[in-house]
Structure 1
């Protein structure tokens, strides 16, 4: 559980629900950032099966820039039965519009199927864009790492590799059978989520991390889906799904730093 994330000096954790934890940054860097106006919040959406130590590395990156971090985890049942995923997305959307967050700029960093969680939030937004316009206007930047887009086979493989790596092949076959039997309640929902990326209601700039050899993410499909986005990309010939920071730390951090500074989220002196 993410409650086991080691807390840095100046950081306090507030457990909002089983899957949602808010990390408030009261460090010196955060104090100076607050003087410029409402402090941005990073909405961090980890991959399925992520370990606290791995998520902590990304939290630390944003803590160093002075940002608060809202970590929203996902469960495999929310992917296998998307109605639950939509309910989860609705709860996150409601939270982001409470007094705790409704005046603050937002950033999004989604990993792997965490991008799908963000899409589920956006599905609710697209049902009444005008009602949620204040939220979409507050999103200053979007970062997607190893976005799972492509065929249903990609999604089934993602479940197997993320949650049951020793039985990946078997899990993929069972998942595909499941998707076939319950298409109306699964695949049709996935299609709506992918459609969100084709017609994203958020116009904020985006940064995409992906690679050519990722079995869970079709890199060509990522480029097709995001062709009309205002975006920066970091594409490697070889890397690891949701493991680009570990494989290519210098490239990753340089791209992230440049992106955050390009959208004026962090001051020039606050390099990550």
Structure 2
């Protein structure tokens, strides 16, 4: 579907359908008893295709509404100031579909999805914003966030290009120079913009100091060649110790960047649904938003 410059897909619950109906163990984690279906925003990574993101809907298709969105990389890395506008358009979908009373979750992927998420949280915590009554309950962060490293980012883009063999390495070298050029251009552009403007190079710091306090589930792997597990462990511990955020982690040994669900579909599905269930049971017992007026 398309709505005023923003392309997204929305799916509604299909009771009785799941990733593997023969696996009775997964039924234990189907969210039940909710008067309003949870809404899960799936926000994709750089190079993600709609068909890739649609596979994650299987995790939630029994009992949740999913809104799938892939932030355009030309906006994320070339014209990031537009990210704030895209964030508000995504949040406006909640009102458009009359879902203001539904519990809301975010399931984001890699630094591209994280960049979109940081702009959403900035909107949600800004003084006087029109979304302050939204019922956000938690966020699942897959393969992110990672500190900005040109070489790793270039390799991620090379993989996303779909090239193989020698052509992939050519794309990798070319992307290194391209990202260095973009970084220089962006720094000059940011110099003339107001502080606090959307900046893809501050994703790690923005998530670390995020004003929201709803629970977080970090999913990552020791085998990730794009974002080292040490980055994610550091930020998970910081959020827990400094802000008292309820933080859960799911750590794999062998899956590659944003490939954890592909390699471990059952445990991934169980953990995501268990996390949603935990957040819903917490209800209003936790203060999810910092007082933005202080």
Q: Which TM class, normalised by the smaller chain length?
A: 0.7 to 0.9
Counterpart CA distance in 1 for 2:260 and 2:14 is: 29
Does the 8 A contact of 1:83 with 1:185 survive in 2? no
Counterpart CA distance in 2 for 1:126 and 1:195 is: 16
Equivalent residue number for residue 258 of structure 1: 274
Q: TM-score, normalised by structure 1?
A: 0.78
Equivalent residue number for residue 127 of structure 2: 128
Counterpart CA distance in 2 for 1:235 and 1:182 is: 34
- Structure 1, 158-167 or 222-231: larger mean CA deviation: 158-167
Counterpart CA distance in 1 for 2:147 and 2:59 is: 30
Matching residue within 190, 207, 211 for 1:201: 211
Q: Which runs of 5+ in 2 are unaligned?
A: 18-29, 192-197, 240-244, 282-294
Counterpart CA distance in 2 for 1:178 and 1:191 is: 11
Larger radius of gyration: 2
Counterpart CA distance in 2 for 1:129 and 1:214 is: 40
Bigger RCO (CA 8 Å, 6+ sep): 2
Residue 111 of structure 1 deviates from its aligned partner by 1.1
Matching residue within 69, 72, 82 for 1:84: 82
Counterpart CA distance in 1 for 2:65 and 2:43 is: 14
SS where residue 56 of structure 1 aligns? helix
Q: TM-score, normalised by structure 2?
A: 0.73
Equivalent residue number for residue 118 of structure 1: 117
Counterpart CA distance in 2 for 1:86 and 1:157 is: 27
Asked if residue 238 in structure 1 is aligned to residue 254 in structure 2, the reply is: yes
Equivalent residue number for residue 43 of structure 1: 41
Q: Which runs of 5+ in 1 are unaligned?
A: 1-13, 266-272
Equivalent residue number for residue 223 of structure 2: 213
Equivalent residue number for residue 96 of structure 1: 94
Matching residue within 172, 176, 184 for 1:172: 176
Equivalent residue number for residue 141 of structure 1: 138
Q: 1:120 to 1:158 in 2, by over 3 A?
A: farther
Does the 8 A contact of 1:139 with 1:202 survive in 2? no
Counterpart CA distance in 1 for 2:7 and 2:83 is: 12
Describe the superposition over 1:8-27 as per-residue Cα deviations: whole angstroms up to 9, x where unpaired. xxxxxx55465222212364
Residue 41 of structure 1 deviates from its aligned partner by 0.7
Does the 8 A contact of 1:120 with 1:193 survive in 2? no
Asked if residue 69 in structure 1 is aligned to residue 79 in structure 2, the reply is: no
Describe the superposition over 1:55-87 as per-residue Cα deviations: whole angstroms up to 9, x where unpaired. 2221122112x1111111211112112112222
Q: 1:205 to 1:128 in 2, by over 3 A?
A: same
Q: How many residues align?
A: 248
Alpha-carbon RMSD across the aligned residues, in angstroms, is 3.0
Does the 8 A contact of 1:164 with 1:171 survive in 2? no
